[in-house]
Chain A
């Protein structure tokens, strides 16, 4: 039920962003998570606030699932001072350190070493908490991926690498980027990770049981793990629209994935299990929409950062002091 709530909330937020984008108030590149809600939603029920996560340019679902503040997220998209990054980062650079969401990068694979370094910090601090690194399959092509996994294995860090393979890197299909005989799980194992699995993403509950096992073992010091999931980005790479007709992928493929919508599947399951589910869902949708309305209102009414403050936070205050 919690997983469903999370998925639904993310779906409704993202769809609202898609709908409102045309008003021109969110003036930054926005990469929506519609269709990819399941994995972070499942993980959100397993992680605590003390666990950390880093993400990619497509970070909204990861941020929200980790518990990131919705008002501040929308305000950030609006470029307002009240945004989670004070309007300086935009959609691609969300942060909410109070819930352990430690940032997201606009450079593919740039956050993989960061999350690995957070894992190092967990080890140095002798913490049982883990560091989650969300990445797309495109990032597994970057050198930073190999280097980071190698180090994580070497130092036995509690880093959980979650690869969401949505098969496209902007418009480039997997077939022009990775040999068909390639396996990222084999690569991860080859680099020394003891746990590297490809998990069937169709059933949310089986994702849950797999992830829970991995995380629990990780807290006890079993070392880094790599989990790969197949998923699908419903809308265009960047922006609110659908683009299944421009030629890089087929409408049929999209429809097939839409039919397998994890959100719909979970809903059907819950309908079957709970008699009052439909009524509950109506309430839930209303509650979430209210929350979303408040967030958009907040963002709209918030002021932009002041021009005079443009040089703020390049360096910390008083940080040019001497040592002696």
Chain B
């Protein structure tokens, strides 16, 4: 599994699901085109046929509802959007149909739909091609939300999502698509609702989401190497339900938490986690909890403005050191933001 990239793992998960279960169908804008949504759906229609794998009209609202309608009749629907931002037109169907169907009909019908949403970022994607709105989706009762970081987790969770009898929002960060062979020990596969502890530690709990898990691990390794700090890195993975148990256990152990969330600041998942920890009297923090998110500002397009805009390993390391009153002056020379900053980094080897 680890020899495949994240994008290849997504494609494998879809293909394996469709091969094992005839009721799975897959559609989205560009799903059957020569690029196959960054390779994630490439040529699936050739193996599974045009009825099960198809491109769609530019009608995000109705196409979501059509997916819901097919799913209540027993089809497992996988819908893909090349950017999360495009999907916003479908929110009525997501919130008022998909999320509510099982509940408001007293369990008579259910809605096994999975919606893959790709988070853009980089190369001037700008304000409407990069949003990370996991907090919106997590807020709605009846939706499950996952944001796997590693290829194996992406494979297992997409398969689980497709088989899940309820609606699942599956968030893929574009900067993870070409990553390979960088996961920690993933012999233990996780399910929807579980977080993943990527690195054990005793001095600090760093909770991360999606791409920020990679930045977080970079920061944690740096802090260990240079400052002898033992940082525990927990990849949240499941945004809804949140693995509160694991977070609490770690916070009780380290008594210091930092949450690195890819979303905007206000009403973020980071806010939710910090509120949860602080409200629990059993956890006695030694320092103020840290919330690292995007500012309350649309993501700019210009190279000049995106420089330093996003949370990087250096920002995480600095925030942790600062909270412990440790001098952090070398951090930005030791682990600077890569140049150019608007592409995923050393492991990036493909076009946007």
Residues of A that sit less than 8 Å from B by CB: 52, 54, 83-89, 93, 95, 97, 102-103, 105-107, 110, 112-125, 143-144, 147-148, 150-151, 154, 312-316, 319-324
Contacts and interface: CB of A to CB of B under 8 A. Distances in A.
Interface of B: 25, 51-52, 56-57, 59, 61-75, 92-93, 96-97, 101-110, 141-142, 144, 156-157, 159-160, 163-166, 189-194, 241
A151 B69 CA distance: 13
A314 B62 contact: no
A319 B75 CA distance: 16
A82 to B, nearest CB: 10
A93 B96 CA distance: 12
A315 B144 contact: yes
A124 to B, nearest CB: 6
Nearest to B72: A102
A323 B156 contact: yes
Nearest to B16: A323
A85 B104 CA distance: 6
Contacts of B64: 113
Contacts of A118: 69-70, 72-73
8 contacts: A102-B73, A110-B96, A112-B62, A113-B69, A117-B65, A117-B67, A122-B73, A123-B51
Nearest to B241: A320
A95 B69 contact: no
B73 to A, nearest CB: 4
Contacts of B157: 323
B62 A124 contact: no
Nearest to A113: B65
A110 B97 contact: yes
Contacts of B109: 95, 97, 102-103
A141 to B, nearest CB: 14
Contact of B190 (A119, A124, A150, A322): A322
Contacts of A102: 72-73, 109
Contacts, number: 167
Contact of B92 (A88, A110, A151): A110
Closest 7 CB pairs of A and B: A117-B69, A113-B65, A86-B106, A322-B191, A147-B62, A147-B59, A121-B73
A150 B57 contact: yes
Contacts of B164: 319
A177 to B, nearest CB: 19
B62 A89 contact: no
A115 B69 contact: yes
A314 B101 contact: no
B189 A324 contact: yes
Contact of A320 (B71, B96, B105, B191): B191
B159 A323 contact: yes
A123 B54 CA distance: 14
Contacts of A85: 104-106, 108
A87 B63 contact: no
B240 to A, nearest CB: 10
Nearest to A148: B62
A114 B97 contact: yes
Nearest to B71: A117
B66 A120 contact: yes
Contacts of B25: 124
Nearest to B67: A117
Contact of B105 (A89, A119, A144, A319): A89
Given A124-B75, A148-B62, A320-B191, A314 B110 contact: no
Given A124-B25, A313-B107, A323-B163, A147 B97 contact: no
B70 A110 contact: no
Contacts of B65: 110, 112-114, 116-117, 144, 148
A315 B102 contact: yes
B61 A114 contact: no
A42 B231 CA distance: 70
Contact of A113 (B62, B190, B191): B62
B69 A120 contact: yes
A316 to B, nearest CB: 4
Central interface residue in B57, B106, B193, B241, by most chain A CB within 10 Å: B106
A121 B75 contact: yes
A282 to B, nearest CB: 37
Contacts of B106: 83-89, 313
A54 B65 CA distance: 12
B108 A314 contact: no
A147 B89 CA distance: 12
Given A112-B65, A150-B59, A323-B160, A107 B96 contact: yes
Contacts of A117: 65-73
Contacts of B67: 117
